């Protein structure tokens, strides 16, 4: 039997001692030794900081997003050996799909978000600039930049692949290198996955390191630029978060701990409704997927007291259909727990729960496996005899275990749910929108996610137990108080937000976005004749003028059918406290502005794909004379497409220099011929040569 290797400082290293034995969940046979003896954790931290970090920070968000995509696709292409190995953790094919392809899916999801929603640069602008003086000469902007440290992951055993990738994706996209420490019982699967990534050569040196075994002294090497992301039990979280170095050096610490997640069957979900059956299906799924070893699994099923007998019968019948056996057998619907130690812990937790519960189900047939050797456990459904008993709301049996709890009215359902002291997720299952709303808003403060299920979403719901890369995963209190993923929110945990104060020109240069009051460049002719590559931020045009007539307004009304009184009814418009007379349609004003700034010939501007942030600041009256300031505000290269996106700051002014409308015009602008995938050949006819 081999000892798992760690990948640190650019090479694979074997431990200097054998360490702990990780065993096969079904056969109990040893799979690997796990130890970090002799692995230099200080050198790993330094390697991440000195090699991985600078390389990642030299890349743009889009380049890092491309890395995530490449790694995600590589793992999907090479997934079969991972599936094979995953059965040794007790996981069925369906369980492993969540871990392996679900994990790769997080990389792909972040890759796509990164390319679509982040700039093609390295600085993230947070919100609008703040103008700090009356004359606009001194501004501030909040910017987020990658921290110069390392993200240390400490993972739970239950998702040895997904658990790594859901933390890696936001850190890497932010530009921060990662050191992964997998949980000992399933470290062999994480090691295999990291090996695939390392062998692919896709990630730069130092971006991803792996330490199999203990990392207890790694904390001594961390400082305020570093981040520790822990997933595991609430008890371990408490020990780690109070580590003196983490406290004294303000090392960021995020905990995703266990929680006593609830599902609430609404009072309106009577047995004749589809929601009653949906609830039963969801509870059984959550008990049996991954043999209940999911941090998000439903541990407390809250059901109106009047329905609890019927629900207990429905759950018992559904659980009788679950086939418990060898996870490698395709017919198996529930595999093993990760090991016999874990199974014994779950049995201990069930014993604690028994003081306040009766057993509904705790036996099953074990198909073609020996439950004395493998870590098998029957799905266990309990029923509370005392709904308020502390053990029910505080004891996590991390296996196929759930407790039915009766409640009398919505207030008691809310109160009982809150006894979990903070959870990752709760489901509300009811056909009644008012009931769903009341329950959701009453329990939201205690949860990171609330999943509302009814017949209309039965086919499309992503399920109670599935954290998604674009949604927050985490919860208050007992659930750890942390937050992971949540789309781009997740990358901010790895970045430092800084309020930068200075002149509009400095802030334009720092943020990569033209700021109000910054220099405008007007010496290059019409900006729409410039290729993306030649377009500087601040390139601007102040247009000719156009006087708006009553005929313009009436023509626009007739052509579009927009006869709103403010444009067409003299008496009503005059009586209006807002207008005091007939005014031009806002959309007419925008259209007239386009007529002023558009360059008519074919040229580098390929298309206008929208406008953002449009506000009509003042009415435009017949006789008003309009001009437009159009200024290149933001440039985003779309790699390999032959074009980039340019947002233009548009300000429409009247004859008194008052802003009547302000917005961003979004355009696609061609690269020079032959650049970034643009076709070779002569410059476009309308382009400025």
Active centre residues (catalytic)? 256, 295
- State the minimum distance, in angstroms, from the CB of residue 233 to ligand NAP: 3
CB of 243 to ligand NAP, least distance (A): 8
CB under 6 A: which stretch of 156-164, 309-317, 532-540, 617-625 binds ligand NAP? 156-164
Residue of 269, 224, 270 whose CA lies nearest to 247:
224
Q: Taking the complex as a whole, how short is the minimal distance between the CB of residue 288 and ligand NAP, in angstroms?
A: 16
Name 675's Cβ contacts closer than 8 Å, sequence gap at least 6: 531, 533, 642
When binding is defined by CB under 6 A, the residue of 215, 301, 405, 507 that contacts ligand NAP is: 215
- Residue 403 in the binding site for ligand NAP (CB under 6 A): no
CB 443 within 8 A of CB 414: yes
Q: Which is nearer to ligand NAP, 158 or 430 (CB)?
A: 158
Nearest partner of 387 among 373, 411, 375, 404, judged by Cα: 404
232 forms part of the interface with ligand NAP (CB under 6 A) = yes
CA distance 230 to 247: 15
Using the 8-state DSSP alphabet, how is residue 395 labeled?
A: -
Binding mask 277-296 for ligand NAP (x = CB under 6 A): ------------------x-
CB contact at 8 A, 596 and 546 = yes
SS3 of residue 547 by DSSP: strand
184 binds ligand NAP (CB under 6 A): yes
**Cβ closest to ligand NAP, residue 25 vs residue 257:** 257
CB of 221 to ligand NAP, least distance (A): 13
Size of the site for ligand NAP (CB under 6 A): 25
For residue 482, the minimal CB distance to ligand NAP (Å) is 8
Which SS3 state, helix, strand or coil, does residue 358 take?
strand
Among the listed ranges 63-71, 153-161, 532-540, 676-684, the one in contact with ligand NAP (CB under 6 A) is 153-161
Q: Is 258 in the site for ligand NAP (CB under 6 A)?
A: yes
Told to check if 156 binds ligand NAP by CB under 6 A, we report: yes
- The residue sitting closest to ligand NAP, measured at its beta carbon, is 232
Those residues with Cβ within 8 angstroms of residue 631's Cβ, 6 or more apart along the chain or in another chain: 514, 520, 538, 539, 540, 648, 649
Binding flag, residue 376, ligand NAP (CB under 6 A): no
Contact status: 118 vs ligand NAP (CB under 6 A): no
Under rule CB under 6 A, residue 33 binds ligand NAP: no
Is the Cβ–Cβ distance between 624 and 544 less than 8 Å? no
Structure tokens of 243?
Answer: 């580590």
Helix (H/G/I), strand (E/B), else coil: 223 = coil
* Smallest distance from ligand NAP to CB 382, Å: 18
CA dist., res. 263 & res. 45, Å (int): 42
Strand partners, 637: 644
The dihedral sign for the CA sequence 498, 146, 119, 536 = positive
Q: How far is the CB of 594 from ligand NAP (least distance, A)?
A: 50
Angle between helices 162-174 and 187-200 (to 10 degrees): 40
**How many CB atoms are located within 10 Å of the residue 605 CB?**
28
- Start-to-end CA span in the chain (Å): 69
| Pairing, β 124-131 against β 139-146 | antiparallel
247 binds ligand NAP (CB under 6 A): no
User: How far apart are the C-alpha atoms of 346 and 336, rounded to whole Å?
Assistant: 12
- Measured from the CB atom, is 232 or 642 closer to ligand NAP? 232
CA 354/CA 387 separation, integer angstroms: 13
Does 183 contact ligand NAP by CB under 6 A? yes
Binding window for ligand NAP (CB under 6 A); candidates: 64-72, 101-109, 254-262, 580-588:
254-262
Least Å distance between CB 57 and ligand NAP? 27
Which one of residues 112, 236, 245, 470 is an interface residue with ligand NAP (CB under 6 A)? 236
The residue among 351, 297, 285 whose CA lies nearest residue 322 is 285
Q: How far is the CB of 509 from ligand NAP (least distance, A)?
A: 41
Position 231 contacts ligand NAP (CB under 6 A): yes
Indicate the residue among 115 and 449 with the shorter CB distance to ligand NAP.
449
Q: What is the CA radius of gyration of the chain?
A: 30
CB 144 within 8 A of CB 175: no
Of the candidates 29, 130, 216, 358, which one interacts with ligand NAP according to CB under 6 A? 216
Interface with ligand NAP includes 101 (CB under 6 A)? no
Asked whether position 398 contacts ligand NAP by CB under 6 A, the answer is yes
Among 101, 396, 483, 552, binds ligand NAP (CB under 6 A): 396
Beta strands in 14-52 (DSSP E): 20-23, 30-34
Among 64-72, 235-243, 306-314, 510-518, the segment contacting ligand NAP (CB under 6 A): 235-243
| Residue 226 DSSP code | -
Q: How far is the CB of 293 from ligand NAP (least distance, A)?
A: 7
Q: Does 346 bind ligand NAP (CB under 6 A)?
A: no
x/- mask, ligand NAP, residues 406-425, rule CB under 6 A, reads ------------------x-
Cα–Cα distance measured from residue 352 to residue 348, given in angstroms and rounded to the nearest whole number:
7
Taking CB under 6 A as the rule, does residue 22 contact ligand NAP?
no
Enumerate binding residues for ligand NAP (CB under 6 A). 154-158, 181, 183-184, 214-216, 231-233, 236, 239-240, 256-258, 295, 396, 398, 424, 480
């Amino acid at each position: 039997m081999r000892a798992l290797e760690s990948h640190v400082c650019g090479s694979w290293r074997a431990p200097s001692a054998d360490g702990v034995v990780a065993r096969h969940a079904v056969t109990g046979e040893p799979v690997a030794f796990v130890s970090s003896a002799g692995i230099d954790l200080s050198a790993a931290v330094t390697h991440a900081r000195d090699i991985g970090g600078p390389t990642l920070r030299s890349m743009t968000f889009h380049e890092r997003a491309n890395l995530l995509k490449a790694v995600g696709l590589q793992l999907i292409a090479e997934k079969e050996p991972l599936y094979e190995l995953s059965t040794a953790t007790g996981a069925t094919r369906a369980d492993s799909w969540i871990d392996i392809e679900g994990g790769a899916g997080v990389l792909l999801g972040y890759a796509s978000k990164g390319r679509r929603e982040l700039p093609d640069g390295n600085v993230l602008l947070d919100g609008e600039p703040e103008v700090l003086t009356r004359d606009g000469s001194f501004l501030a902007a909040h910017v987020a930049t990658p921290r110069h440290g390392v993200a240390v992951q400490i993972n739970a055993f239950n998702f040895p692949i997904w658990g790594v990738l859901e933390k890696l994706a936001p850190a890497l996209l932010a530009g921060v290198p990662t050191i992964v420490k997998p949980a000992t019982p399933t470290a062999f699967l994480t090691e295999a996955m990291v090996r695939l990534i390392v062998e692919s050569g896709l990630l730069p040196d130092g971006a991803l390191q792996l330490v199999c075994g203990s990392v207890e002294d790694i904390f001594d090497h961390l400082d305020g630029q570093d981040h520790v992301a822990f997933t595991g039990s609430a008890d371990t979280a408490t020990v780690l978060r109070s580590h003196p170095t983490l406290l004294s050096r303000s090392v960021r610490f995020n905990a995703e701990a266990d929680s006593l997640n609830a599902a609430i069957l609404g009072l309106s979900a009577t047995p004749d409704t589809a929601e009653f059956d949906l609830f039963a299906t969801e509870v059984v799924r959550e008990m049996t997927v991954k043999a209940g070893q999911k941090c998000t699994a439903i541990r407390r099923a809250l059901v109106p007291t009047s329905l609890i007998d019927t629900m207990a019968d429905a759950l018992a019948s559904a659980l009788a259909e679950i086939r418990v056996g060898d996870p490698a057998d395709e017919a198996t619907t529930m595999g093993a727990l990760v090991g016999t130690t874990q199974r014994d812990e779950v049995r201990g937790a069930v014993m604690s729960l028994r003081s306040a519960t009766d057993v509904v189900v705790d036996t099953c047939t074990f198909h073609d496996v020996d439950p004395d050797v493998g870590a098998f456990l029957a799905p266990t459904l309990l029923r509370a005899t005392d709904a308020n008993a502390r053990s029910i709301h505080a004891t996590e049996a991390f296996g196929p275990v759930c407790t039915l709890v009766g409640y009398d009215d919505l207030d008691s359902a809310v109160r009982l749910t809150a006894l979990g002291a903070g959870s990752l997720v709760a489901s509300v299952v009811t056909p009644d929108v008012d009931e769903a709303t009341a329950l959701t808003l009453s329990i939201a403060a205690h949860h990171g996610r609330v999943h509302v299920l009814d017949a209309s979403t039965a086919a499309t719901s992503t399920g109670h137990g599935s954290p998604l890369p674009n949604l927050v995963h985490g919860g208050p209190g007992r659930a750890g108080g942390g937050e992971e993923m949540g789309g781009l929110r997740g990358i901010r945990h790895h970045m430092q937000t800084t309020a930068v104060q200075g002149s509009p020109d400095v802030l334009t240069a720092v943020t990569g976005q033209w700021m109000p009051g910054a220099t405008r460049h007007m010496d290059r002719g019409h900006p729409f004749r410039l290729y993306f590559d030649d377009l500087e931020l601040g390139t601007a045009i102040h247009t000719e003028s156009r006087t708006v007539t009553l005929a313009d307004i009436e023509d626009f009304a007739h052509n579009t059918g927009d006869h709103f009184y403010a444009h067409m009814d003299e008496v009503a418009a005059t009586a209006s406290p807002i207008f005091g007379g007939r005014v031009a349609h806002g959309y007419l004003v925008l259209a007239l502005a386009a007529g002023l700034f558009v360059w008519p010939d074919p040229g580098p501007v390929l298309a206008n794909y929208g406008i953002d942030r449009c506000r009509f600041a003042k009415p435009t009256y017949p006789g008003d004379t309009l001009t437009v300031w159009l200024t290149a505000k933001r440039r985003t290269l779309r790699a390999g497409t032959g074009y980039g996106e340019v947002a233009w700051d548009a300000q429409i002014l009247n004859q008194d220099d008052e802003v009547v409308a302000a917005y961003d015009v979004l355009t696609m602008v061609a690269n020079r011929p032959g650049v970034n995938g643009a076709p070779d050949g002569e410059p476009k006819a309308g382009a400025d040569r």
